[in-house]
Amino acid sequence: MKPAILKEMIAVIRAEQQRRASLLTEEDPNFAYDQWLFTDAPFVNELCLMLLVTLRHQVERELVSLGARAADEGAVISGQQYQEKVEQLRKGKGWDWKEIEDRLKLELWEGYASMKALRFLANPYKHDPSMEPNEDLLELLKLETGVSYAPLPESDSLREGFAGFIGLGKDTDYCEIAARFVDIASDFLANAQNRTKLSQVKRGPASLDPSTFAR
């Protein structure tokens, strides 16, 4: 994961947020309010949510890689052995997360709950046609269940729940929330990597044959 790239993406989103806000200053106050509430804010929020879903998948990829390297008490393994160990962690169409979490002792590291929040966000964002938060996410964020919520990009309650969950004020916008999640994820992965005995993968010599280059 490259936090600097994600932070650059957040900066681009924030610039667009500020650009849209500046265009409304000269408009009729009622029109400007409606434009921001129903069009501009949901647009900016969804960009941030897309980034958070991307962050979740980047974290998953790194955890799978770390989990594959955490099975041999730090012994040196070949590139082929590494690929085989990655495949051994597959479970159906996904990954054996219980095995990965046990190997890396993920529950011990600060940020574990925040990574669960990203997972619970990604599920309804990608798969629910209504894009409403599911009960897993609501319960984790300590939000009321059994009531209707606006779609994820439009729900102030969800934004406030995310902000409070990671120690930010309820008025914090999604750009700041996303930036904080990037920091949490970076620290979480660093703990998983630095405090686990991982195998070193010894790659073979690189081929100079152009026909074998990645395309």
User: Region 52-73: what's the mean pLDDT?
Assistant: 94
Query: Which tokens sit at 156?
Result: 């102030």
The string of DSSP codes covering 10-35 is HHHHHHHHHHHHHHHTTS-HHHHHHH
Q: Check residues 192 and 33 and name the one with the higher pLDDT.
A: 192
CA separation for the pair 72, 77 (Å, rounded): 9
Secondary structure of residue 215 in the 3-state scheme: coil
- Report the percentage of the chain scoring pLDDT > 90: 72
Task: Identify the three-state secondary structure at position 86.
Answer: helix
For residue 44, pLDDT beyond 80: yes
The encoded tokens of residue 182 equal: 């990037």
pLDDT at 20 over 90: no
Residue 97 has pLDDT above 70, yes or no: yes
Cα torsion 174, 175, 181, 182 to 10°: value is 160
* Rg of the chain taking only CA atoms, in angstroms: 21
**Mean pLDDT value across residues 48-52:** 97
Q: What is the pLDDT of residues 115-132, one digit of tens each?
A: 999 999 999 999 989 999
Comparing 50-64, 65-79, 140-154, 201-215, the range with the smallest average pLDDT is 201-215
Predicted local confidence at residue 179, as pLDDT: 97
* Tens digits of residue pLDDT in 167-185: 999 999 999 999 999 999 9
Residue 154 near residue 125, CB atoms below 8 Å: no
**In the predicted model, is pLDDT for residue 207 greater than 80?**
no
Q: What share of the chain is helix, strand, coil (3-state, %, to 5)?
A: 65, 5, 30
Q: Give yes or no for residue 68 having a pLDDT over 80.
A: yes
